Amino acid sequence: MASPLIRIVAPLLVGALAGAGAIVGATLRRERARLELAPAPRPLAAEGWWSSDSSSSLAHAHPAVLIVDAGTARLVDSWDRRTRDRVARPVVRRTPEWPREGLLVVDAATGDLLAVVEARDGASAGMPAT
């Protein structure tokens, strides 16, 4: 009597477990994709770790950046890796550490200077001197 019952219940149990596993797997895959930092779909005004290298520790520390003209404090471009879009309502906060001229990459949340991309003298630097 147990044998016919097992023949009916076993496939149903295996199917239910497989379905639950597929749901959990899809949820984990979606969550992992949400946490990944993606590069910009179109080139930014200046390319570097802030726009292309999603594995960089700096990219995780500063996921949203503004590219600013230092001379005018005018926003040139922005990128937020978390939303995979331009920074919503960017605010440029000039700080005393900024050079007078050049193209700067600054943290969108704090305004910290992250990189000097172009200086008038043609020099470029990856990180500001401290």
* Residues 4-44: tens digit of each pLDDT: 778 888 888 888 888 888 887 777 776 665 555 566 667 77
* Residue labelled with tokens 């959990």: 24
pLDDT at 16: 85
Instruction: Give which of 69, 65, 63 is closest to 118, Cα–Cα.
Output: 69
pTM: 0.60
34, containing H or E segment: helix 2-35
- 33/121 Cα distance (integer angstroms): 41
10, containing H or E segment: helix 2-35
Phi, psi of 129 (to 5 degrees): -75, 140
* Residue labelled with tokens 């922005």: 78
82 or 130, higher pLDDT: 82
